[in-house]
Amino acid sequence: MHIPDGFIDIPTSTAFAAVAAVGVAASLKGAARSLDEKTAPLAGLTATFIFAVQMLNFPVAAGTSGHLLGGALAAILVGPYVATLSLTVVLLMQALLFADGGLSAAGLNIFNMSLLGVWSGYGAFLLAKKFLPKSKVSITAAAAFAGLISVPAAAVGFVIQYALGATATFSLTTVLTAMVGTHVLIGIGEAIITGLSVSAVMASRPDLVYGYRGTKKNLEIGEAHK
Amino acid sequence: MKNPLVTVGLALSLVLAGGVSYYASSHPDGLEKVAGDVGFLDSAKESATEGSPLAGYGVAGVKNERISGGLAGVIGVASTAAISFGLFYALRRFKKDKL
């Protein structure tokens, strides 16, 4: 999923870098409002854990592998703003230290994974939570669903970038079909890892889980009204 | 550290990046595979950081693949932890100062 330099032309990459910068700036503001003594260490852990797990490519189909993106996982654990920053730190470390993902492509990658991956995952999580009974197990199930959705969503981001500024001239439908097909499969792995990770944190420190704290608060408000 | 979750999580990250990563699939990832199948893989250019001693998740000069990859993983985990904990603690303090 890490776009190297060269796939997408410089004007398109620059435009996406500008959009990514606006998203990251907004996230810095949002994160400053939500971080406190208790959540700051979990936020650091989330970014570090995602870096580590992104190294673990799993096989998905003949000759193809995938790895966790972590956008949905981070959004549920620490909220979408801090999640965007976490993913951005991971992507910058990978591009700068490990030559994984191009430098001119950094804006493209941040847009797809730190913004699209995080917010589509968070949206899917909130939607699933609405339809599931209010319980801890539901948080894990909603997290897995969010992971599943977030990967093809990020893949569609690449297809949009390809449509706007590909240096190659292959059919857009071919790229769209191949990208979404492959990334739905990778999304299944994402769902499993996201569900397991969220349930592990829910088992030890549910009070720290951003996506669960919201549930409790709503319940309390609901009870207060009665 | 007061929070065992953070200690355990960081230790797990070190084990995953430093040890388990050796067993990760080396097949191309989704995007790389699609690029190869469709035919635009050769439009990729070398990254400006390709000369980094850690490029490609290995440590330059270390011949043993397990040690080279594991060391790169440990360095990556330590660097990501330093930057992210620093950033999030700074943001938390920024908020406190304003109040």
Contact B31 A90 (CB under 8 A): no
Range of the domain at B19: 1-24+52-99
Whether residue A188 lies within 8 A of chain B, CB to CB, comes out as no
Kindly determine whether residue A99 and residue B56, on different chains, have CB atoms separated by under 8 Å: yes
Contact A86, B55 (CB under 8 A): no
Per-residue pLDDT at A77: 97
Are B27 and A33 within 8 A, CB to CB? Answer: no
Residue B42 has which token pair?
Answer: 């050769």
B46, B83, B92: residue with CB nearest A37: B92
What's the CA gap between A214 and B3, in Å, rounded? Answer: 21
User: How deeply is B31 buried, as exposed, middle or buried, from its count of CB atoms within 10 A (0-12, 13-18, 19+)?
Assistant: buried
Domain presence at residue B88: yes
Query: Domains of chain A: which residue ranges?
Result: 10-221
User: Does a structural domain hold residue B65?
Assistant: yes
Q: Give how far Cα A32 sits from Cα of A40, A67, A77, A89, A150, Å.
A: 10, 29, 16, 16, 25
Chain A contact present for B44, CB below 8 A: yes
Question: Which residues numbered 8-27 in B keep a CB inside 8 Å of some CB on A?
Answer: 9-10, 12-14, 16-17, 20-21, 24-27
* 10-residue stretch averages of pLDDT, chain A, 226 residues long: 96 98 97 92 98 97 94 98 98 97 97 98 97 95 98 98 92 95 97 97 95 64 45
B12 domain residue, yes or no: yes
pLDDT, one tens digit per residue, over A79-104 is 999 999 999 999 999 999 999 999 99
pLDDT at A7: 96
A182 with B33: Cβ contact below 8 A: yes
pLDDT of B2 > 80? The answer is no
Task: Give the residue from B87, B94, B96, B99 with the most A CB atoms within 10 Å of its CB, the best one to mutate.
Answer: B87
Q: Inter-chain contact B25–A102, Cβ cutoff 8 Å?
A: no
Q: Does B92 contact chain A (CB < 8 Å)?
A: yes
Q: Name A118's Cβ contacts closer than 8 Å, sequence gap at least 6.
A: A71, A72, A74, A75, A80, A83, A84, A87, A150
B57: left (phi over 0), alpha (psi -120 to 50) or beta: left
Query: What are the φ/ψ torsions at residue B28 (nearest 5 degrees)?
Result: -60, 150
B13 falls within a domain: yes
pLDDT in tens, B43-74: 999 999 999 999 999 999 999 999 999 999 99
User: CA of B94: which chain A residue's CA is closest?
Assistant: A32
Name the domain count of chain B.
1
pLDDT digits (tens, 9 = 90+) for B18-43: 999 999 999 999 999 999 999 999 99
Report the CATH number of the A10-221 domain.
Answer: 1.10.1760.20
> In angstroms, rounded to a whole number, what is the distance separating the alpha carbons of residues A44 and B88?
7
Q: At what angle do helices A210-225 and A118-131 cross, to 10 degrees?
A: 40
Q: Is the dihedral of CA B91, A121, B19, B60 positive or negative?
A: negative
Contacts of residue A22, Cβ cutoff 8 Å, sequence gap at least 6: none
- Alpha-carbon Rg for chain A, nearest whole angstrom, is 18
B53-72 residues touching A, CB cutoff 8 A: 54-57, 72
Is residue B81 in some structural domain?
Answer: yes
Kindly write down the DSSP assignment for every residue of chain A, as one continuous string. Answer: --PPTTSB-HHHHHHHHHHHHHHHHHHHHHHHHH--TTHHHHHHHHHHHHHHHHT--EEEETTEEE----HHHHHHHH-HHHHHHHHHHHHHHHHHHH--S-STTHHHHIIIIIIIIHHHHHHHHHHHHHHS-SSHHHHHHHHHHHHHHHHHHHHHHHHHHHHHHBSS---HHHHHHHHHHHHHHHHHHHHHHHHHHHHHHHHH-GGG-HHHHHHHHHHHHHHHH-
In a domain, B98, yes or no: yes
Find chain A residues with C-beta within 8 A of B14's C-beta: 52
Does residue B29 form part of some domain? Answer: no
- Which amino acid does the sequence have at B34? V
User: Is the Cβ of A158 closer than 8 Å to some Cβ of chain B?
Assistant: yes
Give the whole-angstrom CA distance, residue B47 versus residue B58.
16
Measure in Å the smallest separation between the Cα of A109 and chain B Cα atoms: 12
Distance of CA A33 to the CA centre of its chain: 20
Domain assignment of residue B32, yes or no: no
Give the H/E segment covering residue B78: helix B65-98
A174:B38 CB<8 A:
yes
